[in-house]
Amino acid sequence: QLQLQESGPGLVKPSETLSLTCTVSGGSISSSSYYWGWIRQPPGRGLEWIGNIYYSGSTYYNPSLKSRVTISVDTSKNQFSLKLSSVTAAETAVYYCARQGGSPSFFDSWGQGTLVTVSS
């Protein structure tokens, strides 16, 4: 059974960099069939796609966040990571990592999500 688990600081100061890691268990992040993504959800609001990565390291980002986002993969640890720089309070959200299947097409497996609060 595939499981994804987000980890990282729950509190980040404004203007600093948010860093999260997603650990994948029960499956290999190096599978050629999947991409791996980050999605966020501010409290009481909708979902926003942040970006995806393929095991080879190819990355794809939301154009509105592209200048501040870096997603990386560590196949030896079966993990992928998110860095978002210069965060503001408006980026307080639950951050989800997810597997994207279908070459890609759909997000079929999600982590439980982690709340990151941006506040001084």
Partner 1 sequence: QSALTQPASVSGSPGQSITISCTGTSSDVGSYNLVSWYQQHPGKAPKLMIYEGNKRPSGVSNRFSGSKSGNTASLTISGLQAEDEADYYCCSYAGSSTWVFGGGTKLTVL
- The one-letter code for the residue type at 35 is Y
Nearer to partner 1 (CB atom), residue 35 or residue 81: 35
Nearer to partner 1 (CB atom), residue 14 or residue 42: 42
Per-residue mark of binding to partner 1, 83-112 (x: CB under 8 A): -------------x-----x--xxxx-xxx
The structure tokens 């997810």 sit at 98
C-beta separation of 98 from 37 below 8 A: yes
Binders of partner 1 among residues 49 to 78 (CB under 8 A) are 49, 52, 60-64
With binding defined as CB under 8 A, does residue 8 bind partner 1? no
C-beta separation of 49 from 37 below 8 A: yes
Sign of CA dihedral 37, 43, 47, 48: negative
Q: How far is the CB of 120 from partner 1 (least distance, A)?
A: 27
Sign of CA dihedral 30, 23, 98, 1: positive
Q: Which of 8, 48, 70, 78 binds partner 1 (CB under 8 A)?
A: 48
Q: How far is the CB of 66 from partner 1 (least distance, A)?
A: 10
Distance between CA atoms of 64 and 52, rounded to whole angstroms?
14
Q: Which residues bind partner 1 (CB under 8 A)?
A: 37, 39, 45-49, 52, 60-64, 96, 102, 105-108, 110-113
